[in-house]
Structure 1
């Protein structure tokens, strides 16, 4: 073609990496820019990522019904083509189905392969199945190092790493030493296929699960359905391969509330247009215009919308009650819930099925879910002051127990397993834990149980300070990167460019995903992977002068 191709690297190629590549292709195709893109990921399923691996157990379900998975179309597809629902065809069933995560992963991988087959001649994509361990900037651009080989130089590098290696906390470090010393199984929740294989040897044993969030619900399904059990109506039919008991526990002992049962019930929580407009204005006020107000303007909008929805559903609630709930949520998320595990689970199922009026927390959680696109649009598009970012991220994280809820069917299955005694939540609420030669002794209130197997189902915080991944740890030291706040990720510009502690942009180096938590918000959503940040990053890459080629970092 007679033109030097600008070299770009994407390190980490799950759904977010795919979205970045698609954004590059979309913009470069229209501009006729010559690009050579190299994607780095050792996975055998590029574009799926570990969470959506096509090899993952089909007991691990999406937490969104098919009707809610609305990803932007592939950049080179014809209008109306390329959606997940279209790709699934008749196998998808109706829009209410919660499909296995592996199906979405297979779709994303197929979407990537279809993109490669349609690339215009001025764009090339090369996949490198290696793990990058170091990035160094030189006079000609960025060099990427993997064991025994160096790649580059690149004018732009995007780090899209998903969940990198993170230092174990004190508790898990002690537990691992204890497990090693006594030959006790201590396993991560994922990959699910590996957990199911290991669980074949756990029949008759007590298995503890650290955490009761979505990952723990996956684990419960793996240890029942994954071992050959099945549900029949309101009963569980055991295979005989299950553990004797499954004992989940967490700091508050509560499972996430399920999402509304179907589209009709979900529509009860739709905000009115004027409420959505008020929410966007409250975001602008709390984030930028009057940051000293923080979440207060947003709370006011949530209060008014929640009152309308609860009263329309037959509930009797006063404004002061909603206001108090929101105040507590900002200070101590989840502390409003005083019921036990079983009672709270039954109530949330009843609300999801529309059999009782929605409670304050359930209503606010559903509103927050529906407003997340507006939240991400406002939050991610500008530099939010660190203290305000901390408040909003904490509030968003706390509401995940509602906004990221499980399918109703999964909650019903958990209830059945508790009622049959296979799942035992009596030590679920922040138990005292004593390590013994037989395992982990859990004691809560007057109930004590000893688990001889432990599964860690708690996802590490996306905190830059705790990352041990060599690539990230090296860059943090070399570039003097600092966390945006306690428990948060790196400071990044709205186009994902990394920003150092002294406020300078790092030329040619960008970061997206969980490790940018605080610069972005709600980063665990599949829709966030395909959000506006990737588009802004692609525009920045292509805004460099053509004669810079690969010589500019």
Structure 2
């Protein structure tokens, strides 16, 4: 064998080193404890900050916020691991690292939400602390580059980097996050036309937001439309305003009500729009309010028992009713316990359960306890903010969403790899995605900023719900309910769903093209075993490629939360790999 081939041969390759890749690297060497095995790993990361990856890049602007509070960032610490000849050091959880755990914080204090770059700094330092020792032991190689192709070989996997060398490993763990997908019909049409129109600019992705702010097309007189009405839209709107020198003044510390003071460098107007115009609801303002929605031990045990009993007869489950039936009584009990803090009613627990069930089954279901979809978006925003700050009676849908948020970790744990049909997995994921309007909502401050921008006239809400859009010589022409506006710059802030069939990035799409693996559902990711190895078409076996990221969505339920990256799933993979390590195809390099 050539010396070059020897130098480029490793036991395990980890492709993508954001939080998932970091967690997988840590789990790999933790799984070596009590053994004499010390695999050589090679990490591929296209960005300059391994551990943080693109989402938590340290150089991103301060206008990019997390939607998880310091209090809620439950990232597990790394435990010290003694191995043969060296020790992998421990590393604290985020709360201890940031100093949050040492503070005495009253339950009524407003929750703080870190910047994405701040979490990136934590992740980078955590990566550096393990990489330093592994590099010293000659057990780790870091390649800054993008992998565009992997090929199965007799003794493992060949990994090719764009413009670089090829590497060989016994196995590969794909820890890739958001992947670009095929543009839909609307975006494709716009992309084909926009080059013909002077002064019009289309951004098909919201990040990095600096591209949008620095766009040559963005001048004071521009109208900017933002397609989508979620977390990314808020980041873009904040970048176009506060990021352009404007500032938010807090008018009321208790409610976080704000006023926007323009810099004069903002676009003429920012026009958000989506298919339904429904806003996200914010996280509760503080721990005291948030604890209203936390299930007690007895309720959580009842929920877990109900799901386990249903899963014992998994072959008979045909709808999400089993999931709804398990949580609806708990939501009803919590809604009743909030007492005078809810919208007034005289309903019994069983009657509330029926309403909860109806709304979870049918998104169009209407009831006086539920915020009507017919309410103007700006009024819904204000109402949800008031609920989150304790100034308005809590609606039943707000309660459902936040009880669901607190129970999500248990649900994810029990339903991942559950023996249920592919169709039912798809329905469960769709229900969970629908509730993310509540469960993955932003901090109160973000929505108070939106309200301030609406009040100042910087955000135009006249086209929020499914406007008619045409392209002409002036760019995009919006029309809704007699209102019209011409748009110069279009920003798509709708983040790609983890649909493996629509992915256009070369690495995962080639796996499908070669018919090696198949999706679990036409709107979900690939099928994996519990140890993350991807199953082959027809369930005839596995390939030495593990899928740890979003594209395993379906087999795994709940892959997007940052805490899930450091959960038990990397451990399952690492233990499986160490058991296989040293067998045929996994000989030490």
Alignment correspondent of 2:486: 450
Note if 1:410 corresponds to 2:432.
no
Alignment correspondent of 2:322: 297
Task: Write out per-residue CA displacement over residues 378-432 of structure 1, whole angstroms, 9 at most, x where no aligned residue.
Answer: 1224454201211110111000000000000111111111122211111101111
Q: Distance in 1 between matches of 2:307 and 2:331?
A: 17
Note if 1:241 corresponds to 2:265.
yes
Note if 1:492 corresponds to 2:523.
no
Alignment correspondent of 2:153: 138
Change in 2 beyond 3 A, CA 1:353/1:405: same
Query: Size of the alignment, in residue pairs?
Result: 549
Change in 2 beyond 3 A, CA 1:261/1:225: same
Q: Distance in 2 between matches of 1:449 and 1:91?
A: 49
Other structure's SS at 1:306 match: helix
Note if 1:101 corresponds to 2:101.
no
CA contact (8 A) 2:177 2:549 kept: yes
Q: Distance in 1 between matches of 2:191 and 2:515?
A: 33
Alignment correspondent of 1:60: 64
> Which of these residues, 255, 261, 276, is aligned with residue 300 of structure 2?
276
Alignment correspondent of 1:18: 22
Alignment correspondent of 1:172: 187
Q: Distance in 2 between matches of 1:79 and 1:41?
A: 23
Change in 2 beyond 3 A, CA 1:154/1:236: same
Change in 2 beyond 3 A, CA 1:225/1:127: same
Q: Distance in 1 between matches of 2:277 and 2:311?
A: 33
Other structure's SS at 2:224 match: strand
Note if 1:343 corresponds to 2:379.
yes
CA contact (8 A) 1:212 1:249 kept: yes
Task: For residue 441 of structure 1, report the CA deviation from its aligned partner.
Answer: 1.7
> Which of these residues, 83, 92, 107, is aligned with residue 93 of structure 2?
83
Task: Write out per-residue CA displacement over residues 355-376 of structure 1, whole angstroms, 9 at most, x where no aligned residue.
Answer: 1232111111111111111112
CA contact (8 A) 1:286 1:295 kept: no
Alignment correspondent of 1:329: 360
Alignment correspondent of 1:399: 435
CA contact (8 A) 2:475 2:488 kept: yes
Note if 1:191 corresponds to 2:208.
yes
Task: Write out per-residue CA displacement over residues 55-86 of structure 1, whole angstroms, 9 at most, x where no aligned residue.
Answer: 11111101011011111112438999522233
Other structure's SS at 1:422 match: coil
| Worse-superposed segment, 276-285 or 520-529 | 276-285
Alignment correspondent of 1:511: 547
Task: For residue 148 of structure 1, report the CA deviation from its aligned partner.
Answer: 5.1
Alignment correspondent of 2:169: 154
CA contact (8 A) 1:65 1:96 kept: yes
Task: For residue 474 of structure 1, report the CA deviation from its aligned partner.
Answer: 1.3
| Worse-superposed segment, 277-286 or 360-369 | 277-286
Alignment correspondent of 2:369: none
CA contact (8 A) 1:158 1:512 kept: yes
- Which stretches of structure 1, 4 residues or more, deviate above 6 A after TM superposition? 77-80, 90-95, 120-123
Change in 2 beyond 3 A, CA 1:479/1:149: farther
CA contact (8 A) 1:489 1:516 kept: yes
5+ unaligned residues in a row in structure 1: which ranges? none
> Which of these residues, 223, 226, 238, is aligned with residue 243 of structure 2?
226
Note if 1:462 corresponds to 2:498.
yes
Q: Distance in 2 between matches of 1:333 and 1:123?
A: 59
Change in 2 beyond 3 A, CA 1:264/1:71: same
Change in 2 beyond 3 A, CA 1:200/1:28: farther
Change in 2 beyond 3 A, CA 1:430/1:284: farther
Q: Distance in 2 between matches of 1:38 and 1:50?
A: 19
Note if 1:311 corresponds to 2:336.
yes
CA contact (8 A) 1:76 1:115 kept: no
Q: Distance in 1 between matches of 2:280 and 2:193?
A: 30
| Worse-superposed segment, 491-500 or 376-385 | 376-385
> Which of these residues, 256, 260, 279, is aligned with residue 280 of structure 2?
256
CA contact (8 A) 2:51 2:127 kept: yes
Task: Write out per-residue CA displacement over residues 423-458 of structure 1, whole angstroms, 9 at most, x where no aligned residue.
Answer: 111110111111122122222223222211111100
Other structure's SS at 1:390 match: helix
> Which of these residues, 33, 37, 56, is aligned with residue 37 of structure 2?
33
Change in 2 beyond 3 A, CA 1:488/1:82: same
CA contact (8 A) 1:497 1:511 kept: yes
Q: Distance in 1 between matches of 2:28 and 2:363?
A: 42
Alignment correspondent of 1:163: 178
Task: For residue 328 of structure 1, report the CA deviation from its aligned partner.
Answer: 4.0
CA contact (8 A) 1:143 1:150 kept: no
Task: For residue 501 of structure 1, report the CA deviation from its aligned partner.
Answer: 2.6
Change in 2 beyond 3 A, CA 1:231/1:380: same
Q: Distance in 2 between matches of 1:304 and 1:25?
A: 43
Q: Distance in 2 between matches of 1:355 and 1:457?
A: 31
Q: Distance in 2 between matches of 1:91 and 1:438?
A: 54
Note if 1:525 corresponds to 2:565.
no
Task: For residue 149 of structure 1, report the CA deviation from its aligned partner.
Answer: 4.6
Note if 1:117 corresponds to 2:142.
no
CA contact (8 A) 1:135 1:142 kept: yes
Alignment of 1:468-483 (within 5 A): 468-483=504-519
Change in 2 beyond 3 A, CA 1:168/1:287: farther
